[in-house]
């Protein structure tokens, strides 16, 4: 199978220590438009358009008027002074528009869903515009604690087929659903953003759907679902996902902190996750997240050139979960692949479910394995679960057409790492799996797998 990878397997392993330079093109440094050094933009205070900012008056008409005036004038900043602005759906309809919430400003969603236009149960929608975004030290209050799964906002803030998107420094609290959604966007920067108190199932933090040239940095995210998730999902414009950099973030999730999948109808390549801390969720359905890192091909998409380095985890069930699955919900008729993956400098303090690398048994007479080119080096994983001799003999189910997550396979027959239907796996140097409690299972168990190399 031909991949669009710029590096061979051997080259990827050699260069992974400088992978940011090796994987991401030179244009990535300019992923989004930073206007900090340009002339001061025109400003459109929402109070000039009649916004009350008292937390009780529905300010949507005034806020939308300010946004539209900014777009019609050729761009600038829509300024939210200190106050509490109650609103339904807002739309960015022109280029070069940034909503800036000053410190002390709160944009608060209305719970009167009957007042949302045309069933748009969302707070912000930007459709096919350029150089737009959110900024400032203010807060967006999504009031998820006051909603239910049956009666809530849809995807909350969507940038659809936009380019030059920037979201900076804002705090977003109480999300009831997918929070920041970038769908088929190019040149995106999300930096210094706090997302906390995710209130309901599906309250993902950041969703990157079929995007290219994205940098997410210095964010603090605590959600009741995935914290940062990369997918291919846009029926109108399905395309490959490429050149994604996630760094210097603190993440907590009731599900998976860093995830590719499960929607994988196209390919993913050149993804770097580095210098992040993953911890237990502050609230939510589970006391521990499911996986710190999950890489899943479920719909025929190929994942390749993936680097995760310098990531410290605690409060997760599994350190990582690498899985080729085959629900095949799109237009591809055979499983995808996961290849050229390097985990370097990964520490898990208290794993309770074994990390795993799992492909599939033969599919139509051909292998559908995880690999080749999956390397674990400078990896230290400590288990605190304990296990019996009977657990060590257990055979986890295949579950090849079911929803894939680390918690769905029962107890693994190893406490550190379980590998099945994989090939071209390299363990080491310095891949150490240990248990802090008595455990009769081995640290590592490898089944139905070819070409496993262990390097001290």
Tokens 């985990």 belong to 343
**Which H/E stretch holds residue 437?**
none
Question: Beta strands 268-279 and 374-383: pairing type?
Answer: unpaired
Average pLDDT of the chain to the nearest whole number: 90
Instruction: Check whether the bond before 375 is cis (ω within 30° of 0).
Output: no
Average pLDDT over residues 379-391: 98
Average pLDDT over residues 273-282: 95
pLDDT per residue as tens digits for the range 213-257: 999 999 999 998 999 999 997 667 789 999 999 999 999 999 999
d(CA 332, CA 106): 45
Inform me whether the pLDDT recorded for 17 exceeds 60: no
Fold category of 9-454 in CATH:
Pectate Lyase C-like (2.160.20)
Q: How confident is the model at residue 5 (pLDDT cuts 50, 70, 90)?
A: very low
The pLDDT score that the predictor gives to residue 123 is: 97
Question: Beta strands 171-173 and 194-196: pairing type?
Answer: parallel
Average pLDDT over residues 331-357: 96
Burial of 230 (0-12, 13-18, 19+ CB in 10 A): buried
Residue 439, Cβ neighbours under 10 Å: how many?
Answer: 20
The pLDDT score that the predictor gives to residue 175 is: 94
Which of 425, 453, 427, 447 has its CA nearest to residue 339?
425
Which of 203, 151, 216, 152 has its CA nearest to residue 173?
203
Inform me whether the pLDDT recorded for 365 exceeds 50: yes
Q: How confident is the model at residue 386 (pLDDT cuts 50, 70, 90)?
A: very high
The pLDDT score that the predictor gives to residue 8 is: 42
Inform me whether the pLDDT recorded for 7 exceeds 50: no
d(CA 147, CA 396): 38
Tokens 């239907």 belong to 421
Is 131:162 a contact under the CB 8 Å cutoff?
no
d(CA 25, CA 379): 28
Inform me whether the pLDDT recorded for 4 exceeds 80: no
pLDDT per residue as tens digits for the range 420-441: 999 899 999 999 999 999 999 9
Is 239:211 a contact under the CB 8 Å cutoff?
no
Which of 225, 216, 219 has its CA nearest to residue 176?
225
Q: How far is CA 136 from the centre of its chain?
A: 23
Q: How confident is the model at residue 352 (pLDDT cuts 50, 70, 90)?
A: very high
Is 408:402 a contact under the CB 8 Å cutoff?
yes
Inform me whether the pLDDT recorded for 31 exceeds 70: no
- Residue 443 phi/psi, 5° resolution? -65, -40
Neighbouring-strand partners of residue 376: 343, 427
Question: What pTM does this model have?
Answer: 0.93
């Amino acid at each position: 199978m031909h991949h669009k990878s710029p590096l061979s397997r051997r080259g990827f392993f050699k260069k992974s220590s400088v992978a940011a330079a090796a994987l991401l093109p030179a244009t990535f440094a300019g992923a989004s438009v930073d206007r900090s050094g340009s002339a001061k933009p025109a400003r459109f205070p929402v109070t000039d358009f009649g916004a009350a900012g008292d937390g009780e008056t529905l300010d949507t008409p005034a806020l939308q008027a300010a946004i539209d005036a900014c777009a019609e004038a050729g761009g600038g900043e829509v300024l939210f002074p200190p106050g509490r602005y109650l609103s339904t759906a807002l739309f960015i309809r022109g280029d070069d528009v940034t909503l800036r919430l000053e410190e002390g400003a709160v944009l608060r969603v209305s719970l009167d869903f009957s007042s949302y236009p045309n069933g748009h149960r969302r707070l912000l929608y930007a459709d096919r515009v350029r150089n737009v975004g959110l900024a400032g030290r203010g807060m967006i209050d999504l009031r998820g604690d006051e909603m239910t799964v049956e009666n809530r906002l849809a995807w909350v803030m969507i940038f659809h087929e936009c380019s030059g998107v920037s979201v900076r420094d804002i705090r977003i609290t109480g999300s009831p659903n997918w929070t920041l959604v970038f769908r088929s966007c190019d040149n995106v920067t999300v930096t210094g953003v706090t997302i906390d108190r995710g209130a309901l199932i599906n309250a993902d933090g950041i969703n990157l759907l079929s995007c290219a040239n994205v940098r997410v940095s210095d964010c603090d995210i605590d959600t009741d679902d995935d914290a940062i998730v990369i997918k291919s999902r846009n029926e109108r414009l399905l395309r490959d996902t490429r050149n994604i950099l996630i760094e210097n973030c603190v993440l907590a999730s009731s599900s998976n902190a860093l995830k590719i999948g499960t929607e994988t109808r196209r390919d993913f390549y050149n993804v770097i996750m580095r210098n992040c801390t993953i911890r237990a969720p502050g609230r939510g359905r589970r006391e521990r997240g499911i996986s710190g890192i999950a890489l899943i091909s479920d719909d025929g998409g190929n994942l390749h050139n993936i680097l995760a380095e310098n990531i410290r985890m605690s409060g997760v069930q599994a350190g990582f979960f690498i899985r080729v699955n085959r629900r095949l919900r799109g237009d591809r008729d055979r499983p995808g692949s996961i290849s050229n993956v390097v985990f370097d400098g990964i520490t898990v303090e208290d794993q309770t479910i074994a990390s795993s690398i799992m492909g599939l048994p033969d599919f139509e007479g051909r292998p559908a394995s995880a690999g080749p080119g999956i390397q674990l080096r400078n990896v230290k994983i400590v288990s605190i679960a304990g296990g019996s001799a009977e657990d060590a003999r257990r055979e986890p189910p295949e579950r090849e057409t079911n929803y894939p997550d680390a918690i769905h396979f029962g107890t693994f027959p190893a406490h550190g790492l379980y590998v099945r239907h994989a090939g071209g796996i390299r363990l080491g140097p310095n891949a150490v799996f240990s248990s802090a409690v008595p455990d009769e299972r081995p640290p590592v168990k490898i089944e139905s797998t070819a070409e496993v190399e262990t390097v001290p």
